[in-house]
Structure 1
Amino acid sequence: MNIRFTDMPPLEPVQDGRDAQARSAAVLAADAIPVYEASVTVNYRSGGRTLVVGSAANALPWADRLAAALPVTVLLLDNQDTMPVRPYPVHVARTVAVAGWLGSFEARWQAPGRPVEQGRFDLVLDLSPSRLIPSHQRPNGYYAPGYDDDARAQAVEAMFEMVGDFEKPKYFSYKERICAHGRNGQEGCTACIDICSAQAIAGDGDKIKVNPYLCAGCGACSTVCPTGAISYAFPPAALTGKRIQAALRSYREAGGSAPVLLLHDPEHGAALLAQLGDAIPGRVIPLALQHTASTGIDVWFAAIAYGASGISVLMTGHEAPQYTAALDQQMEIAQAVLDGLGYDGPHLQLLRVDAPEELAVALRHAPRGLAPSEPAVFHLANDKRNTLDYALDHLHRHAPQRPEQVALPPGAPFGAIEVNRSACTLCMSCVGACPAGALQDGQGVPLLRFIEKNCVQCGLCATTCPENAITLTPRLSFMETRNQPVVLNETQPFHCIRCDKPFGTLQMVENMLGRLGSHPAFAGHLDRLRMCGDCRVIDMMEPRDEMRVTTLRRD
């Protein structure tokens, strides 16, 4: 796209000038919020042991330069008639594998006809044709500059400085108790694993594990997490909320109208905005984030509740592609809610631009959606679901329309479940699988209860159900019953025909009779399926050739 600034329709100069002055006040107010110091850090130690991988023509000249200050080992990927003589180890390798991070890289390689060798390194200069570590976000200490000599020179200069002790914030916090990844060996939500561009998150049984040394702090995992089990710890959501609230309040008090928050990263996005200068519309308030993938529906809903007419998120092409897909989905969900409440929109804009001309045009069409008539005063919580509760309650209370529920697209973290009563045996497997407390048993009575407000639509209940009796229904409910337990299924308990103790439900016993009636253990003894576990064992152990009298109670 090659559009000149003069090709754009003119702004209303008076209002745009007033908005620009209000924007200045908003930016000052946001910048006045102090940034928290990281309370927990991740520490690296590098002794400078460097691995260089590539062909002889590519690797050896740069290895020679690095060897002037660092201990170097080279792996050559091409054949060598005569091994080059160097004051550092040089190996020929046909296969190479590298994993790790600054101060803790592990490399394995093998030459033809030789056993596998391995080594540990602090730094890696990867000059191979295909990157050895393919993740979009590269680990600290790993340099893969490609074929450009200037980029290679910059990488080598940076490596000279990577000796010593280093630290970074621990960007995330994790609450295993409410994680929806899995229960009882059944897999549920994998959103954080799928989106992590550093490959720092992996499944670990029913929970996840996050490698803090690989985590790059993009915050995308917290954006897509439905429960808030993984959250952004640095900077925390509460700090971002204070900055947004202060900016919008100052903008409003200075006489600005229809403000749009432009969320951007502090490097590439900020550089692109700097090229625009005065071409940025006055009502657009730039707000730098640690990463543009670190905010989602909780922050956006809160910003609109505070009075924003729209949210624009600037992506410059340097982000991982899965971030764009995730933000697209988040915006679809958020806009569906706002549309359902009658707020004229659109309110959300995902910008994918890498040139100032394109950005200028896009910002002239920034969202101008309807905001609540009364700005909210709540503060963002570090607990994602609490923030959503506050924001959605405010948006519904001041909405042009106040429906009891709003239909949402699949993947939304809100919804109900439907239970097929004829199939459900009330085994309560779903209750044990639910990570959010949305499903509850009857406290000794055979009934299944559901609290819709707690449901995050992770699907663990449906996956766990042995009868396939559960279906997810994505929606957002504003009914009073959303906070209250609602009975989805109930029945009378089935009593043991021998001791009269309740041990299940009629549906469950009928299912067992249908499935196990032909099993050799029960052939000719179907009444055992109508007995509790204790009585079943007693009946099986009693001698068959002795006369006995047993009173069987039949329903």
Structure 2
Amino acid sequence: MNIRFLEGQAGDPLQERRNALAKTAAILAADAIAPFEPAASVSYRSGGRTLVVGSSLQALAWAEHLASSLPVTLLLLDNVDVGERLYPVFVARAVAVAGWLGAFEARWQAPGQPAQQGKFDLVFDLSPSPLISTHQHPHGYYAPGPDEGARRAAAAEMMEMTGDFDKPKYFAYKERLCAHSRNGLTGCNACIEICSAKAIVGDGDRVKVNPYLCAGCGACGTVCPTGAMSYNYPSPAHTGSRIKAALRAYAEAGGQDPVLLFHSDGGAPLLEAAIDAVPGRVIPMALHHTASTGIDLWLTSLSYGAAGITVLMTEAEAPQYAAALDTQMRVAQAVLDGLGYAGPHFQLLRVAGPQELTLALQHAPRGETPAQAATFNLAQDKRNTLDYALDHLFRHARQQPDAVPLPAGAPFGAIAVDKQACSLCMACVGACPSSAVMDTPNAPQLRFVEQNCVQCGLCANTCPENAITLVPRMAFGETRKQTVLLNESQPFHCIRCSKPFGTLHMIENMLSKLSQHGAFAGNLDRLKMCGDCRVIDMMQPEGELSVPLRRPR
């Protein structure tokens, strides 16, 4: 039970006033950080070619309205004679649309007619069900639904959507860190599965992001276990500098138990409506999108002195975002619980109105924090930031266990190797994307660095002996960074040329499994030869032996 939380509910009017003043200082300090300027952008070009899709009752009037300013093509979903028009009109039974602003492609089929297609810059979709079903629609695609006000707003915006447009390139991608796939086996699909714009697809061992479809939510960077995908609007370092400045100013002004309230533009109206009832210790921290915040940012904030993290989401945001943040909060809380920090420290809110928000913030988390605030800066690399935060939290923790168990699926942990089953074939080494599993050039040894492991499962999926099991946990101190020996064996030398070509365990397994195989029955010594000597022996006339056999060492 968190005694500090219960005590805080009684309230201290004097401290509440201090907290309110400290919050003002924190907001001013965060706002004093220079604005973030994105280094790269994505460009669109639109000539205004507009496709309107819907029944005659729904779409005809809007096609007429838009045609006064834009070149329009109308696809009618019912076979109604609309007479002569100044723009093309087609009857369509099956319509498919894909693309983005300035680059939409549409295909449709009319009864008894060959399939037709066209290219458009804008789409006004009044179909019963949206033709593009992604939660986050691409730029230039408008599906306002039946509400007349929403339709008028969409039409007005479309009339302004001609010319050249830019948006930030919201993400950065480092291919070498990606754990998506190896050798045809899938490891991590986290970014693909969470993207509400369907902007990310598999591309061999890596992934590919369509920057024109990317909506800038940042969820891909939040769930990426390696840091291969990172959010860049703003950069992690910029967000970290704002948080650090805010919490430092809050503490210097005499505030206690600060809570960072992360919110995006969608949550701003709710917060504004409830602002007078928000506790003084709750510090609003605006983000482009709340899906871009995750465990690395939260644990760093706690290291800086935050007593809690609250993330405010709205119904407008994709449900998979809330699920991902909830999962990361459970992992982060498990780490803090294992270190003895009294909690809870995290709160995920999906509220519909100001009163609901006010009530929820009265119960904002008031978790225990390190006795000393951290001084490190947020790194651009996600795993480095986590290392800094974990080291600080561990150093000041009441409890200092070697490791804390984590829920299944957590992106941190170790692997367990069944030494009896493992043949040291090193397939896992070739599959590991993060250099967590390693061999050694001078001896048949399997080594492991837990700090590098992202629990992608590629090693376990690749192992032909099913000898590897994932162990989700968070290790601390030097244990996490040390190279440990998981398995080793004696090298096996070819019985002809004495060249080492495998391990004793591997040869024993081969002899056991292939002794009855037709290719080796009566010739088991061939399994004890290297590849070159095996070929020579197979080509040698029966009964003739040109190279003496040697005993294996």
* TM-score higher than 0.5: yes
Contact 2:391/2:477, CA 8 A, preserved across alignment: no
Distance 1:344 1:356 in 2: 29
Residue in 2 that maps onto 1:148:
147
1:173 aligns with 2:176: no
Matched AA of 2:345: H
Residue in 2 that maps onto 1:12:
12
1:360 aligns with 2:358: yes
1:209 aligns with 2:208: yes
Matched AA of 1:537: V
Residue in 2 that maps onto 1:4:
none
Aligned pairs for 1:11-410 (under 5 A) are: 11-80=11-80, 82=81, 84-266=83-265, 268-410=266-408
Matched AA of 1:505: T
Distance 1:523 1:396 in 2: 59
Residue in 1 that maps onto 2:471:
473
Deviations 1:192-250 (A, max 9, x none): 11110110011111100000001111111111111000001121011110110011011
Distance 1:83 1:542 in 2: 87
Following superposition, the deviation at residue 510 of structure 1 comes to 2.2
Q: What is the aligned residue count?
A: 544
Matched AA of 1:305: S
Aligned pairs for 1:433-472 (under 5 A) are: 433-472=431-470
Q: 538, 542, 548: which one pairs with 1:551?
A: 548
- The DSSP-based 3-state class of the residue aligned with 1:318 is coil
Distance 1:53 1:254 in 2: 58
Matched AA of 1:85: E
Matched AA of 1:29: A
Distance 1:414 1:10 in 2: 39
Contact 2:394/2:477, CA 8 A, preserved across alignment: no
Deviations 1:387-442 (A, max 9, x none): 00111101111111111111111122211100001111111111111111111101
Distance 2:279 2:321 in 1: 26
Matched AA of 1:455: C
Following superposition, the deviation at residue 506 of structure 1 comes to 1.6
Contact 2:434/2:452, CA 8 A, preserved across alignment: yes
Following superposition, the deviation at residue 318 of structure 1 comes to 1.0
Query: CA distance change for structure 1 residues 481 and 343 in 2, over 3 Å: closer, same or farther?
Result: closer
Following superposition, the deviation at residue 79 of structure 1 comes to 2.3
Distance 2:447 2:202 in 1: 30
Residue in 2 that maps onto 1:5:
none
1:533 aligns with 2:542: no
- The DSSP-based 3-state class of the residue aligned with 1:458 is coil
Matched AA of 1:507: H
Matched AA of 2:17: G
Contact 1:405/1:479, CA 8 A, preserved across alignment: no
Matched AA of 1:553: R
Residue in 2 that maps onto 1:496:
494
Distance 1:482 1:443 in 2: 23
Contact 2:372/2:396, CA 8 A, preserved across alignment: yes
- The DSSP-based 3-state class of the residue aligned with 1:101 is coil
Contact 2:431/2:459, CA 8 A, preserved across alignment: yes
Following superposition, the deviation at residue 511 of structure 1 comes to 2.2
Distance 2:134 2:105 in 1: 16
TM-score, normalised via structure 1 length: 0.96
Distance 1:114 1:420 in 2: 64
Contact 1:70/1:160, CA 8 A, preserved across alignment: yes
Distance 1:66 1:11 in 2: 58
Distance 2:176 2:317 in 1: 31
Distance 1:204 1:223 in 2: 20
- The DSSP-based 3-state class of the residue aligned with 2:99 is strand
Query: CA distance change for structure 1 residues 226 and 52 in 2, over 3 Å: closer, same or farther?
Result: same
Contact 2:402/2:479, CA 8 A, preserved across alignment: no
Distance 2:116 2:509 in 1: 58
Following superposition, the deviation at residue 317 of structure 1 comes to 1.2
Deviations 1:106-140 (A, max 9, x none): 11111122221111110000100111111101100
TM-score, normalised via structure 2 length: 0.96
Matched AA of 2:15: Q
% identical aligned pairs: 67
Q: Which segments of 5 or more consecutive residues in structure 2 lack a partner in the other structure?
A: 1-8
Distance 2:391 2:56 in 1: 64
The CA RMSD over aligned residues, in Å, is 1.3
Matched AA of 1:510: E
- The DSSP-based 3-state class of the residue aligned with 1:261 is strand
